[in-house]
Amino acid sequence: MGGPLHLVGLTGDGCRIARDGAGGYVVHHDEVEGDWQRVANLPAAYAVCERYSQRDVIPLPRRRQQA
């Protein structure tokens, strides 16, 4: 990464968003092993956090659309 990390956001479920020294954004979640995940921009970082929080959600079946 491009230098030290500066915390930008912390969600209630353990997702951390940080900005590195090179101006990029990285994301890490407490329940996910491994390194920080680099993302394109701040909205993408929040989208990745949202994806982490939905991992335990059971998807509902989709209704068939009438033709």
Q: How much is the pLDDT for 19?
A: 95
In a domain, 58, yes or no: no
Q: How much is the pLDDT for 2?
A: 59
In a domain, 64, yes or no: no
What's the number of domains the chain is made of?
Answer: 1
Residues (pLDDT < 50) of the chain are none
Is the overall model pTM greater than 0.85, yes or no? no
In a domain, 61, yes or no: no
pLDDT tens for each residue of 15-28: 999 998 888 999 99
Nearby residues of 54 by Cβ (< 8 Å), 6 or more positions away: none
Nearby residues of 21 by Cβ (< 8 Å), 6 or more positions away: 1, 2, 3, 4, 5
- Look up the domain containing 42 and give its range: 6-53
